[in-house]
Structure 1
Amino acid sequence: MEMAGWWYRLAALVVALISTTHSAQILGIIATPAISHNKVFAALTDELARRGHRVTVISPFPKKPIPNLKNIEVEMVLKDHNIPNFYDIKNMGTIGLSIFVWNVGLSCCASVLQHPEVQALIHSKDHHFDAIMVEAFMNECFLGFAHKFKAPIIQICPFGGTAYMGDWVGNPNPFSYIPDPVLHFSHHMTFWERLVNTVNGDYLRIGQEFYNIPRQDSIMRKFFNETEPIPPLSELVRNTSLLLVNNHFSLNYPRPLMPNLIEVGGMHVQPPKELPQDLQKYLDESPQGVIYFSMGSVLQGSLMPETARNAFLEAFSKLKQRVLWKWEIESLPGQPSNVKLGKWLPQSDILAHPNVKLFITHGGLLSKQEALTRGVPLLGIPIYGDQHLNMRKAVNSGYGILLEFENITTDSVLWAIESALQPRFRENAQRVSRIFRDQPLTPLEQAVFWTEYVIRHKGAPHMRSAALDLAWYQYFLLDVIAALAFSVGFVSFILFLICRAIFKKVCSSTSPKKSITKQKKH
């Protein structure tokens, strides 16, 4: 018995030593003050902490205490920016929106990097990190931490990513069949759509390279004011060891992927938890079903134009189904008896209830992933960003109806709801749900595996694409094309000279000879 106890203590000690050996020090930075972005980022950092890694997170969000996780909460001070009513943001256009986002990103960088605890990390001499995790969204200034701590870079994109993000890891992005996230095209594009897609994607690439990166580089150097020189940010960003994107080919479109660009779409979705008692009762006692309505965390219901709000209210009052509406203020004038409001609602858990028949949404990617995990059809009202792309895919796949915000009337809302409640939409949603969930590992398990893989293999340089070492003219084989064109031209010219010489020779030999006769004098 004593011997058995000794072996048990020895085994426990070995397990503890192994656990300690594989435990990594990870620094995560997310500066975007958007709840949806934080949900994706926090899903991974929290899980890494639960698995025994020691994680330090810098973010603008408070966190519940988690063992192994230290949270440095940073207040975002966004000065000199006109934050628009997001219902009007589509009027800004691609150029205006991208410049606005890049400028906000600079303010976020300054707010984080000047924080005393962050400055203490920047100038520390005794800290060590095995990986630096950064949100891949206007946060390139934080890559200075990777140089300081000589740690691999892991970037997490809260959506499917852009062409210029693919450039960080040498990933191809043919504009001929990969639509840009801010456009509403499918992967089968007309000539005009391919032209617009190419111009839009290259504009973002050029703006990122010559407008955003130099300004991010400047602010990085301002706060990483150490004696050791830091390489250019354009070089640091191309040292990204791993890019995790919140995407999956079943919810978007297939595309080529380098081994260090991993799709982990839906990694924030957890198994459904028990609902609050009042919500559980409301959903259980709805024999005709419930329509869940939420425009996400950014689009506040109280800021919705009055005409659109009244159209929804009148349409809802004519339904036999109940409506559960995420509404952020105390009251809603004209609220019908079949509508229940909630300032905050556990969306993913609500969508798991069998009585939820339809999700009216802005078409945000996280909302779409949660709905399809549960097999719930969508009625989408896209406003900005990738919402149009998400809903266009839902329409093409047969599990969603798209209603443009400009076209909202009582009749259009009723038509859209009645159409989306048809059985075929739910059947298609459940079919796509089965495809989406048919993966060898859950999205979160994949994200954890590849994060630990990069840490284990010291940045996994064997996954780095040689495309990153090529000049642009080499990557597009322009030098090869030029050499081939010159060779073909040179050979063609030589053949032309030979043919011309032969032609002259033949012509001269076949022409009649002129006889020169000397006339004799008589």
Structure 2
Amino acid sequence: MNLTITLVFLVLTSTVRSLNILGIFPYHGTSHFLVFRVYLRELANRGHNVTVISHFPEKNPPANYQDISLAGTIEVLKDDMPVEKSYTSIINTALFLTFTGKENCEVMVKNKQVQDLVHSKAKFDVVVVEQFNSDCAFGIAYKLKAPVVGMMSHILMPWHYQRLGIPYNTAYVPFHFLEGGTKPSLYQRVERVLFDVYFRTLYYFVTQRSDQNTLARYFDEIPPLDQLAGEMKFLLVYHNFILTGSRLFPANVIEVGGYHVSKAKPLNGTLKKFVDEAKHGVIYISFGSVISPSSLSHERVKAILEVVSELPQRFIWKWNNKTLLKAQDKLYTDSWLPQVDILGHPNTLAFFSHAGMGGTTEAIHFGVPIVAMPVLGDQPANGAAIEESGLGVQVQIRDLNKENLLAAFRKVLDVKFRERVKQVSKAWHDRPMPPLDTAIYWTEFAARHTNFTFRTAAADVPLYQHFYLDVICVFSIFVVILVGAIRLSLRVCRSKSPGKASEKKQSKKSKRA
């Protein structure tokens, strides 16, 4: 069945003409671009001419793949984020997004190659832009007069809901940076409201204004960025409802979660020997490319090592400082590890992770249960999704100790739990079209149908209509008029009643007497 679908898809796509596609990815985070790179190279592999503005130029690009490199202008983000979670860290995250968004825009727009590209009025069939901490790329796309497809490697940011007409209700929609998932407590809902206002205020009144001014210094007549953002044809989100649950997305928001995961390759060398000889299986530990494991407190490292000693499984830990930990019979460490190949190995039984979206989708792809320890960014929301979907369990970093971590591992290592995870993984793969094919299809669709808008009417409804304030006002006026009419009628009836008339006559007679 899958072979038939693939063959049909190849026949359909073989008739698609070669497109000129521009990708704009100004953010300097490695973990984001690792996801986009798979999509961009696939576009080139399918015969499209791809030009990419990013901090990550290809070393061996295909002949039809061209880089406009921003490399070296900003230090690439890697292994320098905190491993502590607090209100202070969330507040600082918003400030980080604000100022990196401004910086990313300035670095990109002042690049000579970018300016030459815009002034040359190059013809592109579609422009693909990252949706994260800046809308600056929409200004470039506008000057090139090309339709836009948005992409992200994570769940929606707070400022994406309104522009796309997606309902945001704190009672059931996870907030990017906070715990609670789809079942938050009252306290967590209050948190969400306050932080939602905080993040969106900074974005609209600092980042957006700054980017608008930056673009105006180099290019004339750029409409408001928020308006341009609302005009994008599609947004390809790194969701899939099997993991993140059902969301109220309009038709132009397409779920493509998991397209970056490649086929696992055989391990080699000492790592292969370590994994193959693990009689009780292995557990993989990694906190991604942004969080440095050596920044964990001594107490937390000690708790993890105590669990390593107590469980019969062997452990593989992505550790960035070999002087602190050395590989031994139970523990293998290295600063770089082939994560996909490890997770795809049949001996891998569990994954202790920071709940980054990349690693989470790799784990669900291979059916490996997760013990999630979310820290920052979208990790708290991802951690909740991991638990709610049945893919794993959470251990908050504030609760990380030997007892809690040991209980979490024993739960996910249980045979019944692992069987459930395999079922979740099977459902994850059961789609009408593979996610990478879906992402490519809707990109080509946007280029083929440039005269159509796929924006939901919900995105343009004024707030007073959204909350029925005008309808409530009409009904309120009607009720007031109705009540007033009833009261007036009662007064008239009382004044004309027989009792009242006789009282008046009697009163007149007594006066005459």
CA distance in 2, matches of 1:336, 1:290: 14
Deviation, 1:344, is 1.6
Deviation, 1:258, is 0.5
Is 1:457 equivalent to 2:449 in the alignment? yes
8 Å Cα contact 2:386-2:392 kept in structure 1: yes
**Residue among 146, 153, 157 paired with 2:148:** 153
Q: Tell me which residue corresponds to 1:290.
A: 282
Is 1:99 equivalent to 2:91 in the alignment? no
Could you tell me the TM-score, scaled by structure 2's length? 0.89
CA distance in 2, matches of 1:428, 1:219: 51
1:516 maps to amino acid: K
Deviation, 1:371, is 0.5
Deviation, 1:359, is 0.5
Is 1:108 equivalent to 2:101 in the alignment? no
8 Å Cα contact 2:149-2:234 kept in structure 1: yes
8 Å Cα contact 1:76-1:112 kept in structure 2: no
8 Å Cα contact 1:182-1:386 kept in structure 2: yes
SS at match of 1:513: helix
1:111-130 counterparts in 2 under 5 A?
A: 111-125=107-121, 127-130=122-125
**Residue among 356, 360, 366 paired with 2:358:** 366
Deviations 1:344-380 (A, max 9, x none): 2221221111100111111111111110111111111
8 Å Cα contact 1:317-1:336 kept in structure 2: no
Deviation, 1:505, is 2.0
Deviations 1:434-456 (A, max 9, x none): 12111111111111111111111
Q: Tell me which residue corresponds to 1:132.
A: 127
CA distance in 2, matches of 1:241, 1:218: 25
Q: Tell me which residue corresponds to 2:431.
A: 439
Deviations 1:436-485 (A, max 9, x none): 11111111111111111111101631x22223433332333322322222
Residues 412 and 175 of structure 1, relative CA distance in 2, 3 Å threshold: closer
**Residue among 321, 328, 345 paired with 2:313:** 321
Residues 31 and 518 of structure 1, relative CA distance in 2, 3 Å threshold: closer
CA distance in 2, matches of 1:281, 1:207: 51
2:363 maps to amino acid: A
Deviation, 1:241, is 1.2
1:92 maps to amino acid: T
Q: Tell me which residue corresponds to 1:300.
A: 292
CA distance in 1, matches of 2:210, 2:426: 44
Q: Tell me which residue corresponds to 1:11.
A: none
8 Å Cα contact 2:371-2:395 kept in structure 1: yes
Is 1:448 equivalent to 2:440 in the alignment? yes
After alignment, is 422-431 or 466-475 more displaced? 466-475
Deviation, 1:512, is 6.2
**Residue among 159, 168, 174 paired with 1:173:** 168
SS at match of 2:84: helix
Q: Tell me which residue corresponds to 2:480.
A: 489
**Residue among 64, 70, 76 paired with 2:66:** 70
CA distance in 1, matches of 2:225, 2:181: 33
Residues 89 and 54 of structure 1, relative CA distance in 2, 3 Å threshold: farther
Structure number with higher relative contact order (C-alpha < 8 Å, ≥ 6 residues apart): 2
Residues 200 and 518 of structure 1, relative CA distance in 2, 3 Å threshold: closer
Corresponding pairs, count: 498
8 Å Cα contact 2:178-2:192 kept in structure 1: yes
SS at match of 2:251: coil
Q: Tell me which residue corresponds to 1:3.
A: none
Residues 389 and 132 of structure 1, relative CA distance in 2, 3 Å threshold: same
8 Å Cα contact 1:167-1:238 kept in structure 2: no
**Residue among 380, 386, 397 paired with 1:388:** 380
SS at match of 1:358: strand
2:102 maps to amino acid: L
Question: Structure 2: any 5+ residue segments left out of the alignment?
Answer: 1-9
CA distance in 2, matches of 1:108, 1:171: 27
Is 1:429 equivalent to 2:421 in the alignment? yes
1:383-422 counterparts in 2 under 5 A?
A: 383-422=375-414
Deviations 1:117-136 (A, max 9, x none): 122213224x1111111111
Q: Tell me which residue corresponds to 2:256.
A: 264
8 Å Cα contact 2:286-2:353 kept in structure 1: yes
Deviation, 1:204, is 3.0
Could you tell me the TM-score, scaled by structure 1's length? 0.88
Deviations 1:32-88 (A, max 9, x none): 222221122222211111111111111111323123211222135459x9x964213
1:501 maps to amino acid: V
Is 1:234 equivalent to 2:229 in the alignment? no
Aligned alpha-carbon RMSD (Å): 2.7
